[in-house]
Amino acid sequence: MCATYRAGSEALKLDPQLLYTSMAVCIRLAVPPPGILFIGENSGSPATAPLNLGFNIGRLRGSLKLQRSNNSTAGGLVIRAFPKTDETLESTELEREEEEGGSGGEEEEEEEEEEAAGGRLVDTWREIHGRDDWVGMLDPMEPLLRRELIRYGEMAQACYDAFDFDPFSKYCGSCKYNRRFFFPSLDISDLGYDVTRYLYATSNINLPNFFRKSRQSSVWSENANWMGYVAVSGDAASRRLGRRDIAVAWRGTVTRLEWVADLMDFLVPASSKGGIPCSDPNVKVESGFLNLYTDKAERCRFCKYSAREQILTEVRRLIHLYRDEEISITVTGHSLGSALAILSAYDIAETGLNVREDGREIPVCVFSFSGPRVGNWQFKERIQGLGVKVLRVVNVHDTVPKVPGILVNETVPTIVRKFGDWIPWSYCHVGVELALDHKNSPFLKDTNDPSCFHNLEAHLHLLDGYHGKGQRFFLSSGRDPALVNKASDFLKDHHLVPPYWRQDENKGMVRSHDGRWIQPERPRLDDHPPDIHHHLEQITLKSAKSSSRPN
């Protein structure tokens, strides 16, 4: 059995034993553990240009990129190829599937669904955005919704990949990349979005396990931490999406879960401490989340405006800029970032920013990943009444979505809940839940590490393989499972993907002209646009008008 593929000008034949190229390069293939391809060169000269290879052999499907590095020695290339199901495939089974015409039937059907879904987004984005509360879209899983969830999840993941966690860096706690080149710097420019504003929060509040500070004496800021960004879809992406999408992504926590204990305090009115202008004092949110969202440091260049003021002014500016277009507002975040996503989406609706001059409302949606509870039952009713749609993606083994409110929450009987309304520890989840189970993935190891259960890349992997309750787990896209181990040790060892593998080259150090290794200076960091005062004044007026709306 063999199959012929073409990549550029290269024709290539593939069977379970041998690979041949038109350049007379003979390379032998062996598959000792499932999912790993070892390719060793036997003769000829390897191609210097990269060879992109897409393959489909039974249930083993994926794409390979072969490239010989300049400093490589003779002897071979090593590449990985994950099958869709992580199953060991024997040649007899492959031949039988090919003879029966069953070349990964259900996976091919899934790919066809994905391709067809791409053309439907213009017509169905409102349903994807939660207009009907995702009824009938989660079981079985709507392919287009899955694709969009992964896309917004990757926007949240970008906050981790761009954040400077290194305490030896004087830029620790900031974003490593210039705002104008944010997505290209992370090699995800195909999103089609432009980052228009960075978001900062003050580290003055008691969150020692969340905020990062440099050990150096000369630092970029004594008080601030970078918290995320506001982005807007470009013209081409907007045509593909069917509207101009304003996206907000909040940074959370990758592995350290101690922040949960730091923040599990008590409920306070959403309007307290100069917070969100809600006329109902019974609408309450967790005090730590509200403090993080509303606190400021007047003497700090980055935090003289609160995170709340920063996001509202930028969203207001973009709505005004694209006032003649169809607009959506999508907020996403993971972990603590999920709580801020829900709080800020509620704030946008409560202040009436999403209400146009003619009374039409811009839809506001939250795609939340592994987030905690944010407020009480009245908060849930208020955010629902304002029309904010929330879809929460959780791993059933993760502890973070179970807090705060371990004792009194949305799962208790109504009479207990009503009694709990009188105590400051009665919490309630908002929106619709999509529950995933990492034990259904054959790629992931059996571990007791709670940080693995909480990992965002693991959630995106689970989304990629989820097709509905009780359905077989298989990956529906070309998303690489190796991403799971970017900041965890969750993949099974036979995939040969090292744990915690993502890091900057030389940990950000560069060699100077005199041969010394130094940390390079970065361009001046963005703080706040000059027209922020104008937009704050307009928001104050807007809030005064919206406060007259019935609760």
- Other Cβ atoms less than 10 A from the Cβ of 416: the count is 13
Task: Please compute, for residue 355, the number of CA atoms within 13 A of its CA located in the half-sphere on the CB side.
Answer: 15
DSSP 505: G
d(CA 274, CA 461): 40
Which residues does 320 contact at the CB level (< 8 Å), separation at least 6? Answer: none
DSSP 530: T
d(CA 288, CA 62): 45
d(CA 6, CA 1): 17
The radius of gyration of the chain's CA atoms, rounded to the nearest angstrom, is: 25
Which SS3 state, helix, strand or coil, does residue 220 take? coil
Residues, the chain: 551
First to last CA, the chain: 68
Instruction: Tell me if 434 sits within 8 A of 138, measured CB to CB.
Output: yes
**Helix (H), strand (E), coil (C) string for 276-307:** CCCCCCCCEEEHHHHHHHHCCCCCCCCCCCCH
Show which residues are catalytic: 335, 398, 454
d(CA 15, CA 8): 20
Question: What would the two tokens of residue 55 be?
Answer: 């393959």
